[in-house]
Every structure is written in structure tokens, then in C-alpha cells.
Structure 1
């Protein structure tokens, strides 16, 4: 008589579970589903001594010294524009020269930074680094990656785009191609002024002692060629 037992193709009886499935996880599965322990917090850096702070903060102090001059020069121009009155102690020629001097000094200052300081700092600090994006692909092979500038370098570009337009106007006034109009000058000073003031403060913060100690040792700071 034929047997009622189900069998597979090889003739081996197939096992069929008729009872309810066992949904209880295995012990090791339960352990795996446990919450991941929180990462241990990084130990706080020891407070700097006054001498250590001076060493780490040296670049910030030097930078702020130059930046104070730029702040004062910009304030002279902007105040004259917003009050529609030149400083009482400045002739028209002196006032125009002050604006041209600000443009010239900023150009020189930023050129030194981008040529010498930023590449040196950028070896360790991404805040000063111009990094390259991954190379694109296309017909005929890959293309070289495009450099992505850090925020400080992008600020340089915005400042110089606006500053160049201001300087061009002041040069035309100096050459008597047009008369100085403080309302017109204001329209050429304010578009980049907020970026300039933000940049001057931000750059000093990035060079501050607490930031620099994360990347450099005391000996490295002492040997910094600036």
C-alpha cells in the first residue's frame, strides 16, 4: 500500500512543522540588539598657563594688530558715507587717499596670507585649506578636481571684488574724471563691508590659543616662521 509520508526527490522523508513558529530570539541575537554603548567623551585639555597662552595666542595677537588698522580705515570711510560728511580733519584729497590706501593695504595683506600663511596653516587646519574636489569623469578620461576654497578664502574674493570697484571710483575722483559723491561711494563700500568686518574677526578667532593648541605643540608654535 502507498505510504502517506511525504518525501523529497531523494526519498528522504520531509519534515513539516505543524506547530506555531518560535519567534523568541536567540540569546546572542538579543545581545546584538542591545543599544550601542556611548562613545567615551574626549578628555578635556588641561588649562594653559599664562606663558603657554601667550605662545599659542601669538599669531592671533599679531593678526589683530593689523586688523585694527583696517577696521579704523573702513570705519572712517563708512561713517563719512552714512553721515554725508567727511572727517573734519581730512581734506578731500586726504579722504580719497585714505580709501585708496585701505584697498592697497588689504590687497598686500591678503596676498601675503594666501602665498605664505594659509598654505602653511592649511597643512593641519582645514579652516585655512583650499582642498580639491574629486576629479570628474567624462569622455576621454577623467578631469582634474576643482579646488574648493575655505570660507576665509571665499571672503577674500568677495572683499576684493567690492573693494576693486570702490578703488576704481576713488581713482577716477582723484584724477578729476568725476566729483566725489558720498552717496555713490556708500553704494561701493557697503556691499563688501560686512564681509570684511566678519572676516577680520573670524580670522583672529581661528588663530586663537584654544584653536591652535588642537593642532600644534608649543615647540611648533615657537618655531612658526611668522
Structure 2
């Protein structure tokens, strides 16, 4: 971005320079991570919408058992996805990109999301064991407790991985070697 400062690879601030237009091939290379992440995130968006509709009884006739299973799978898949990001992708990106350092928003969002997932999973386990009956209004309340941060995160993470941002920090050759 012209006129804005952004961190250099050594962490110091330096004036941003206008970046030249990208060829179609280079744009694909720089957008590779964003495009891949968008596919994963679209899966989570679709799953969330379907499960939320079932919780509100707007869609389908999922039994309590099916709903518990679907929600548990959603929680586990999202946890697994974030685990891969935090162990294998974010540490590499954090070497040059402040957005992926532990003290900043994307990882704080993970913590907020996982607090909500943990509460939802604990409730679902009580329902699965028979300790409690599944109450859809309680599931909705638990999903609502972290839904906003989840949806913001799904959008913000992809936006951070798009070409306009990535090319500030990474060369084309480095982009080709980044994990994902």
C-alpha cells in the first residue's frame, strides 16, 4: 500500500513501495494459500449453516443423535484444522508476517473460538452420555457464543493470505515453498 508502513522481515518499519501489477500466473502463485484456505473455510461455513439451521429446526429433520454427531464432527474438524495451522503454517508465516504472531488477532481468535468449541463439546458429551437431554436452544446459545468470532476469523484469515498482502513479505520463489 502506498504511503503506509509495514514491517520488514527483520521486524523494523519501512515505507511501503508501490508494487507492480502481477501477471495472471504470479497472481495465482501469491493467492495459492488464500485459495486453499478459502476451500477449507467454505466447508466450515457450509457445515455451520446446515447445523445451525437444524438447531433452529429450519432445515431437515435431524434427530438429536444425528445433531450431536454432526456438531461433534464439526468441532473436531475445526480443531484439527486450527491445530495444523498453529503447528505447521502460522509459525512459518510469522517469521515475516506480524498477523501470524501469537499475540495478534488471528491467534487470539483461535483461542476465543476454541473456548466456545470446548463448551459446546462438553455439552454434547453430556447429551451423548445421557447425563442431559439435548436442548436445541442450548446448542444455539453455545454456537452463538463463538459464531461471530468464527465467521470474522474465516474471512480475515483468507484476506490476510491474499496476494496483495502476501507479496509485501514473500518473493514468488518463497511463495512456491510455503506450506499448504
Contact 1:86 1:95 in 2 (8 A): no
Gaps of 5+ in 1: 1-40, 131-148
1:95 is aligned to 2:61: no
2: CA distance, partners of 1:73 / 1:115? 24
Worse overlay, 115-124 or 43-52: 43-52
Alignment of 1:194 with 2:168, yes or no, is no
Query: What secondary structure does 1:157 align onto?
Result: helix
Alignment check: 8 A CA contact 2:89 2:179 kept: no
Runs of 4+ that moved beyond 3 A:
none
Alignment coverage as a number of residue pairs: 166
Q: 2:38 aligns with which of 64, 79, 89?
A: 64
Normalising by structure 2, we get a TM-score of 0.86
Deviation at 1:58, TM superposition (A): 0.2
Say which one has the larger Rg: 1
Is the CA contact (8 Å cut-off) linking 2:47 and 2:74 kept in structure 1?
Answer: yes
Using CA pairs under 8 Å that are at least 6 residues apart, name the structure with larger relative contact order, 1 or 2: 2
Contact kept in structure 2, 1:80 and 1:87, CA below 8 Å: yes
State TM-score, norm by structure 1.
0.69
Coordinate RMSD, CA, aligned:
1.6
Structure 2, unpaired ranges of 5+: 1-14
1:153 counterpart residue number: 107
Match 2:49 to one of 51, 75, 87: 75
* Other-structure match for 2:171: 217
Structure having the higher helix fraction is 2
Question: How far apart in 2 are the matches of 1:88 and 1:42?
Answer: 52
Which runs of structure 2 are paired with 1:23-172 in the superposition (5 Å)? Answer: 43-81=17-55, 83=56, 85=57, 87-88=59-60, 90-130=62-102, 149-172=103-126
